[in-house]
Structure 1
């Protein structure tokens, strides 16, 4: 059995309420990994729209003035029979053509510019709505997500031990082969981990709420009584973790016996071939006894595995709540 002071196999991981949807869990993990994205208060739709509206208004006003100016500068086009009399006339005609092209281009691009502005404003609105919805969801479900930073050192150690026990059970061969009630483990163990994490978070919150520098003997006495109560609570949580570790140890032993049984079965699958080879070469009666001995060893290991499996199931009955049958 893993002792109380044993170091965990892996660092403590955040724990989410198993009842949460995967989308919400993903959002909680993302907010933890990138806290700057979800910092601050909710954004105003008007403030999100204002910069784009101002930019659009400035661009629209500039385009309107340019359109009006280029339209006002249009002069009567000369007839095809009139030829430019000088270089100055030719230059004036070129300028007039450029102004007309600019005027026509502004007139044609105007609907596209307005459409682009509307799309940009709509994008900003949707972005703000999505961000505010994410903040609301985080505010609602953040209490159902335990982060390692919320725990004291001793609480982190206990949670890491519980998580290691869960990984041991769910990663075992006897679990994958459904020899120890796979469905029950996959439902009950995450709930066990969450309840332990939630209790450890509350314990840590109360521990951190104590004043760093108590003033007066009366305050110190109150803190002493308070710490004794919290220590009792922590020992209760630890007993639950130890029970999980005991279950994991039983599963580990059953897993070892299961692997041993498979290897011996693999070795004894060719018993007939070994017997035939011995009979052809030595013709000793001892050959039959050798093969019988191998089969007896396989039966003994199988019996040991069965006993280990039963012990694991008994440990599960103690640690895990009984399965609720569907009505």
Structure 2
């Protein structure tokens, strides 16, 4: 099957189902921006939590072990030599005081650490559960988002053309000022883009399903028939894209006439002042006729803009047919 290489000046963008809610769209966009955070999919809450608790858990265990060790250590035993303290007694008494102080601190510290560890474990587990929920929802939404990398070269080129036509209409002045049914465009253009992207994704899937090395004449003949059918389908999609491009071209023509009309109106708005000035300086019928001619030219451009606008609206009927409501 003959495949046309994509134009280097066009780059397709990711397309999302226009029926997605804002929350679903935000989730897909977040996954698009941070693919590593969602690449692993759903995982066990335990295995997502346990590695993060190893270090703090070891710290709490060390505190508890320290409390146990210091509580069972006896450094100082009263001297049997009457009531006289020896040097050893003084050293042992000091060490016992240090250990008693350390023991008291550890006795309070390790339960606090254990509580903090439990809170951290709950927080980590909650984060993992929320992430798993997002991963499950994202897996459900994958089919409602089409990335350019999923498409073959010729399919990607068609999608880029459709998106360029869509963007040309959306950024036009006649669209912004609602001169060509802005409300209909904002509903129909994303729908047209999505349906084209869906068809192109299915076309790409069928192309990739073809055997790379067909064996036997029957397989080759069947493959030729299949490719002709797929080429006919691709041509149908291309006609749809061409209709969008024709609509965009008509909108661009209306845009040009609109800008021309604005410039001429700006010039002719001051025609009365020019007329008064000429009347004061020359009072020449020819000068008056010249000003009136300017006004006539403005009216002619206005008529041309009306024709261009009507042509754009007729092209919209072809490219963006109204959807039937249930």
Q: TM over 0.5: same fold?
A: yes
Q: Distance in 2 between matches of 1:210 and 1:147?
A: 21
**Residues 83-124 of structure 1, C-alpha deviation per residue, up to 9 Å, x if partnerless?**
995654443333223212211211222332122101211122
Q: Which residue is equivalent to 2:238?
A: 238
Q: Distance in 1 between matches of 2:323 and 2:227?
A: 37
Q: Which residue is equivalent to 2:145?
A: 145
Whether the 8 Å CA contact 1:158–1:241 is kept in 2: the answer is yes
**Residues 122-149 of structure 1, C-alpha deviation per residue, up to 9 Å, x if partnerless?**
1221221122112211211111111111
Q: Which residue is equivalent to 2:253?
A: 253
Gaps of at least 5 residues in structure 1 are none
Q: Which residue is equivalent to 1:310?
A: 310
Closer, same or farther in 2 for the Cα pair 1:74/1:308, shift >3 Å?
same
User: Within 5 A, what are the aligned runs for 1:48-59?
Assistant: 48-51=48-51, 58-59=58-59
Whether the 8 Å CA contact 2:150–2:201 is kept in 1: the answer is yes
Closer, same or farther in 2 for the Cα pair 1:321/1:77, shift >3 Å?
farther
TM-score (norm 1): 0.89
**Residues 273-308 of structure 1, C-alpha deviation per residue, up to 9 Å, x if partnerless?**
111221222221222111101111111111111111
**Residues 210-229 of structure 1, C-alpha deviation per residue, up to 9 Å, x if partnerless?**
11111122211111111000
Q: Distance in 1 between matches of 2:211 and 2:66?
A: 69
Q: Distance in 2 between matches of 1:88 and 1:76?
A: 9
Whether the 8 Å CA contact 2:6–2:153 is kept in 1: the answer is no
Per-residue deviation, 1:231: 0.2
Closer, same or farther in 2 for the Cα pair 1:125/1:226, shift >3 Å?
same
| 1:183 matched to 2:171 | no
CA RMSD of aligned residues (A): 2.6
Q: Distance in 2 between matches of 1:301 and 1:118?
A: 77
Per-residue deviation, 1:28: 2.5
Gaps of at least 5 residues in structure 2 are none
Matched position secondary structure for 2:18:
coil
Q: Distance in 1 between matches of 2:21 and 2:207?
A: 31
Q: Which residue is equivalent to 2:92?
A: 92
Per-residue deviation, 1:71: 2.0
| 1:292 matched to 2:285 | no
Farther off after superposition, 155-164 or 41-50: 41-50
**Residues 150-187 of structure 1, C-alpha deviation per residue, up to 9 Å, x if partnerless?**
11111111111100110010000000000111111001
Q: Which residue is equivalent to 1:223?
A: 223
Closer, same or farther in 2 for the Cα pair 1:281/1:5, shift >3 Å?
farther
Q: Which residue is equivalent to 2:44?
A: 44
Q: Which residue is equivalent to 2:282?
A: 282
Q: Distance in 1 between matches of 2:6 and 2:207?
A: 23
| 1:192 matched to 2:195 | no
Whether the 8 Å CA contact 1:43–1:132 is kept in 2: the answer is yes
Q: Which residue is equivalent to 2:266?
A: 266
Closer, same or farther in 2 for the Cα pair 1:66/1:168, shift >3 Å?
same
Per-residue deviation, 1:74: 5.5
Closer, same or farther in 2 for the Cα pair 1:52/1:300, shift >3 Å?
closer
Farther off after superposition, 31-40 or 202-211: 31-40
